[in-house]
């Protein structure tokens, strides 16, 4: 039993933070630990703090809680830092940006401009950690996990592990075809949001033939049944088409980010992702935003209402998030099998050592130990993994060099861009978009990027 | 002085073959050598043979000539094989294909479908060489040099060297700004058709500042002067824009194959490549075809007209092609500085060993010795070299595996493709296009590629 200090950056994500608190409370080995919440939004921070405090009471847990608006204060003496902060992956900002770029001919924000603000947050946090708590491990929850984990491992000496829950898609695959997910032996390595079911074993047998039979016999009917309600991305026509192309089932977020030709406009999305085009559409995100607003209003009310106990809202069962089990494994040697994003170092063949790959890992007191997996099929490497890798490298080099023409290249490289002038215009508009609240805490994008020497755009 | 046997595959390219003959005749060290012409077209073969025979007479050269329609016969006892054969890079076929795919919405044949026929020719030749003349060196002249040289070095034990003349673009750069090209020390490594002027030295000084000054002072006026006649790609607005983006001058064919946004339609091409959109347009190629037809008619007449001496047509000065100087260097130790496409093995950092890179080389009796060059700037690697490499690998894997869905991916990956259905339709049309003459000698594309198991296209 080891008491640790866990710092949560961007703690205002209420559901996420309360899930962490619950998992901490329900983990015997972490009794006496401290959770330090940090957020730039005082109201949200207080909502989380009040709910967490009362939740720990509900669960009778020995958990210390603290809160701050100052990152440096939160990082002091931290053993683990969970970073869920984001600037641009905010539903309000995404809607504003989406609507703005639609005026330049881009559907669903697909301009291709590389990330800046969230990478900058991640690097700022990791660099602060180097100064304040250099022995702490960062568990990166905010996106982009792939790019950000790679960046932090390259640019700092901090131990970095990116986490996602997309790999649980294997459970959805198993359940659908009538298998108990708990009895499945599986592997789905790759890059974050780009992972492939390389092993799928049930009761000692390869379960792919069962999957094939289920698809042959049921998929058309399933889609027909769902034609008004929509299908999950994991079982969408896009996912099945990817499977037919690649021979391995794409897991979790993989079909959501698949080839542009599944996603170029609403009609196309409806064909490949079912009714309404799936969740990744303007309407889908508006629904998510509405849901989040309602959830937050409910949370806020509950935080200050003595008659509502948090346990009635959040329950008393552990979440499926990996953060706390990983911490418990590292400090108490309670071995845990995780799916992590870490510096490759040969775990996934065919990808450079200094790139963050998503692979299974054994976690115990010896550390987070990635399992070296078999190479992915060459076709998947060439058409899915390496293009994604290359795009990540382009974005990170743009970030590292501050070369604005690399941001322009990213836009030109978008399958939705139709002309050089369109790209140049939307790039200007993206640089000049009105900042949101978190951006006040991040370097101005105009200060970070500059055109190359002697640059002049031919008219 | 060493007599060798040089076999020319696809010898019916009259101007190319006669250039080789001239260079052979004018190379003292190759006296007594044999040139064996092979082509599938009997008429063209005879035209070349007759002209070459009389040309050697004109030059008083001791050169033996032979001809055959049979590849195996031509390869017998060959020391060098110069392969200029092509199936699809034929002006008539390209026009037919261009017009066909235009009906599917593609400008200038830009469908993205990976190469098949020319790769197959190259591999067939190299595999025949393994059986018939395993110690011979192949000098690959026909395109795609990058893909084909890589393929042959991977799949056979033959010594392979791909050759191009695009690197002489450095001479055009030097001349334009008033420098004597013969006095320039230069380096322009990369991948074939994707090379960058990393060194540009004149009279002991870096000549880039001279280039910059010339551009600042003269480029606008130059373009204005050329506004009716057109500009060479080497000095086009596209080339200058690439230079501004990348900080190194793109050489030879590099600006021709630059980003899609310079080339998506005729108006765009006119803006970036000058009047008429440069040579790489339907009209431009029609002009080239017409010129070739006229040239061939003239050659054919000359071949059988005792009053026309070939020397009056082809002159008595060596060409700038590298084939014969390389042969002379290899067999007679007459050291030659070449620009070659060979298996990388570390010559160009950041590219796998088994990929053909274009680098300078010292050639003498010890062999073709690539010079290890400095790494290209990371931005050029990420935005120009690696995307090109990845596309090559995708095409070669499609070729190796025979997986038709990888051909479809190539089409989907074309920046001109607007939808999945368009890609599927044009792919079918490309597979079913009426074959031309050389294709009768190559495996049928329908036999080579098959859809993956269980493939069905969602309607």
Q: What is the pLDDT of residues B246-301, one digit of tens each?
A: 999 999 999 999 999 999 999 999 999 999 999 999 999 999 999 999 999 999 99
High-pLDDT (> 90) share of chain A, %:
97
Phi, psi of A380 (to 5 degrees): -65, -40
Which residues are bridge partners to A36 per DSSP?
Answer: A7, A66
Q: What pLDDT score does A1 carry?
A: 81
The count of residues in chain B is 459
B253 among known catalytic residues:
yes
Nearest-angstrom CA–CA distance, B432 and B90: 18
Query: Does the pLDDT of residue B201 top 90, yes or no?
Result: yes
Alpha carbon of A108 to those of A116, A147, A263, A384, B58: distances in Å? 19, 21, 9, 21, 70
Nearest-angstrom CA–CA distance, A122 and A138: 10
| Structure confidence by residue, pLDDT tens digits, A355-397 | 999 999 999 999 999 999 999 999 999 999 999 999 999 999 9
Q: What pLDDT score does A457 carry?
A: 62
Decide if A262 and B420 are in contact by the 8 Å CB cutoff. yes
**Does A270 contact B at CB distance below 8 Å?**
no
Decide if B383 and A406 are in contact by the 8 Å CB cutoff. yes
Query: Does the pLDDT of residue B457 top 70, yes or no?
Result: no
Helix (H) or strand (E) holding A196: strand A194-197
High-pLDDT (> 90) share of chain B, %:
97
Q: Helix-strand-coil percent breakdown of chain B, rounded to 5?
A: 50, 15, 35
Question: Between the CA atoms of A71, A77, A81 and A85, what dihedral angle is there, to the nearest 10 degrees?
Answer: -10
Residue-wise burial string across B351-362, b where 16 or more C-beta atoms lie within 10 A, e elsewhere: beeebbbbbbbe
Measure B261 CA to nearest chain A CA, in Å. Answer: 6
pLDDT band at B326 (very low <50, low <70, confident <90, very high): very high
| Structure confidence by residue, pLDDT tens digits, A195-242 | 999 999 999 999 999 999 999 999 999 999 998 989 999 999 999 999
Return mean pLDDT, chain A.
Answer: 96
**Does B401 contact A at CB distance below 8 Å?**
yes
Phi, psi of A162 (to 5 degrees): -90, 140
| Structure confidence by residue, pLDDT tens digits, A240-278 | 999 999 999 999 999 999 999 999 999 999 999 999 999
Q: What pLDDT score does B285 carry?
A: 94
Mean pLDDT of B7-26: 95
Closest residue on chain A to B267 (Cα): A419
Mean pLDDT of B228-234: 93
Q: Which of A165, A241, A334, A448 is catalytic?
A: A165
Decide if B241 and A423 are in contact by the 8 Å CB cutoff. no
**Does A382 contact B at CB distance below 8 Å?**
yes
Q: Are A44 and A101 in contact (CB under 8 A)?
A: no
Helix (H) or strand (E) holding A83: strand A80-83
Q: What is the ipTM of this complex?
A: 0.96
Q: Are A132 and A75 in contact (CB under 8 A)?
A: yes
Query: Does the pLDDT of residue B363 top 90, yes or no?
Result: yes
**Does B379 contact A at CB distance below 8 Å?**
yes
**Does A383 contact B at CB distance below 8 Å?**
yes
Mean pLDDT of A149-156: 98
Q: What pLDDT score does B456 carry?
A: 74
Query: Does the pLDDT of residue A53 top 50, yes or no?
Result: yes
**Does A224 contact B at CB distance below 8 Å?**
no
Mean pLDDT of B227-238: 94
Mean pLDDT of A135-146: 97
Q: What pLDDT score does B420 carry?
A: 97
Measure A248 CA to nearest chain B CA, in Å. Answer: 12
Q: What pLDDT score does A459 carry?
A: 45
Mean pLDDT of B133-144: 97
Query: Does the pLDDT of residue A453 top 90, yes or no?
Result: no
**B237, B386, B415 member nearest A458 (Cβ):** B237
Mean pLDDT of A32-56: 97
Q: Which positions in chain B touch A264 (Cβ < 8 Å)?
A: 418-419
Window from A4-8, A259-263, A451-455, B425-429 with minimum mean pLDDT: A451-455
Measure B179 CA to nearest chain A CA, in Å. Answer: 23
Which of residues 135 through 154 in chain A touch B, CB cutoff 8 A?
A: none
Mean pLDDT of B419-443: 97
Mean pLDDT of A298-311: 95
Q: Which positions in chain A touch B390 (Cβ < 8 Å)?
A: 382, 386-387, 390
Decide if B383 and A403 are in contact by the 8 Å CB cutoff. no
Question: Count of CB atoms within 10 A of residue A316's CB?
Answer: 12
High-pLDDT (> 70) share of chain B, %:
99
Q: Which positions in chain A touch B379 (Cβ < 8 Å)?
A: 397, 401, 403, 406
Q: Which positions in chain B touch A420 (Cβ < 8 Å)?
A: 261-262, 268
Q: What pLDDT score does B453 carry?
A: 84
Q: What pLDDT score does A186 carry?
A: 98
For chain B, count helices (H), then strands (E): 18, 15
Q: Which of B46, B58, B124, B165 is catalytic?
A: B165
Residue-wise burial string across B118-129, b where 16 or more C-beta atoms lie within 10 A, e elsewhere: bbbbbbbbbebb
| Structure confidence by residue, pLDDT tens digits, A417-433 | 999 999 999 999 999 99
**A268, A383, A394 member nearest B394 (Cβ):** A383
Query: Does the pLDDT of residue A458 top 60, yes or no?
Result: no
| Structure confidence by residue, pLDDT tens digits, B69-127 | 999 999 999 999 999 999 999 999 999 999 999 999 999 999 999 999 999 999 999 99
Decide if A241 and B383 are in contact by the 8 Å CB cutoff. no
High-pLDDT (> 70) share of chain A, %:
99
| Structure confidence by residue, pLDDT tens digits, A81-114 | 999 999 999 999 999 999 999 999 999 999 999 9
A165 among known catalytic residues:
yes
Sheet-wide strand order for A199-202: A184-187, A199-202, A205-206
Nearest-angstrom CA–CA distance, B34 and A415: 53
């Amino acid at each position: 039993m080891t008491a640790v200090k866990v710092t949560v950056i961007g703690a205002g994500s209420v559901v996420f933070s309360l899930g962490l608190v619950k998992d901490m409370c329900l983990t015997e080995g972490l009794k006496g630990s401290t959770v330090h919440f940090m957020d730039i939004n005082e109201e949200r921070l207080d909502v989380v703090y009040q709910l967490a405090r009362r939740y720990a009471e509900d669960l009778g847990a020995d958990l210390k809680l603290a809160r701050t608006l100052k990152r440096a204060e939160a990082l002091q003496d931290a053993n683990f830092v969970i970073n869920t902060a984001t600037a641009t992956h905010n539903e309000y900002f995404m809607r504003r940006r989406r609507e703005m770029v639609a005026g330049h001919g881009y559907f669903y924000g697909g301009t291709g401009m590389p990330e800046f603000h969230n990478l900058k947050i991640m690097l700022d946090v990791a660099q602060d950690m180097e100064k304040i708590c250099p022995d702490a491990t960062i568990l990166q929850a905010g996106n982009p996990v792939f790019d950000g984990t790679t960046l932090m491992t390259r640019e700092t000496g901090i131990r970095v592990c990116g986490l996602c829950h997309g790999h649980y898609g294997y459970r959805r695959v198993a359940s659908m075809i009538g298998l108990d997910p708990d009895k499945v032996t599986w592997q789905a390595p790759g890059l974050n949001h780009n992972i492939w079911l390389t092993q799928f074993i049930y009761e000692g047998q390869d379960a792919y033939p069962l999957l094939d039979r289920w698809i042959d016999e049921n998929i058309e009917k399933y889609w027909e049944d769902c034609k008004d309600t929509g299908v999950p991305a994991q079982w969408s026509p896009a996912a099945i088409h990817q499977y037919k192309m690649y021979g391995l089932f794409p897991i979790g977020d993989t079909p959501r980010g698949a080839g542009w030709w599944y996603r170029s406009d609403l009609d196309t999305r409806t064909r490949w992702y079912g009714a309404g085009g799936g969740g990744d559409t303007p309407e889908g995100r508006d629904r998510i935003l509405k849901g989040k607003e309602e959830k937050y209003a409910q949370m806020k009310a509950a935080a200050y209402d003595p008659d509502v106990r948090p346990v009635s809202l959040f329950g008393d069962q552990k979440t499926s998030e990996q953060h706390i089990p990983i911490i418990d494994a590292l400090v108490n040697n309670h071995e845990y099998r995780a799916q992590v994003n870490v510096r490759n170092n040969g775990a996934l063949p065919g990808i450079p050592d200094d790139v963050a790959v998503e692979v299974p890992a054994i976690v115990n007191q010896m550390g987070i130990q990635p399992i070296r997996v078999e190479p992915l099929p060459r076709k998947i490497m060439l058409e899915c993994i390496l293009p994604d890798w290359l795009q990540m490298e382009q974005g990170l080099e743009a970030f590292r060099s501050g070369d604005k023409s690399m941001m322009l290249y990213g836009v030109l490289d978008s399958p939705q861009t139709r002309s050089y002038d369109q790209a140049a215009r939307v790039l200007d508009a993206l640089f000049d978009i009105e900042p949101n609240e978190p951006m006040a805490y991040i370097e101005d994008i105009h200060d970070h990027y500059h055109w190359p020497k002697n640059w002049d755009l031919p008219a």
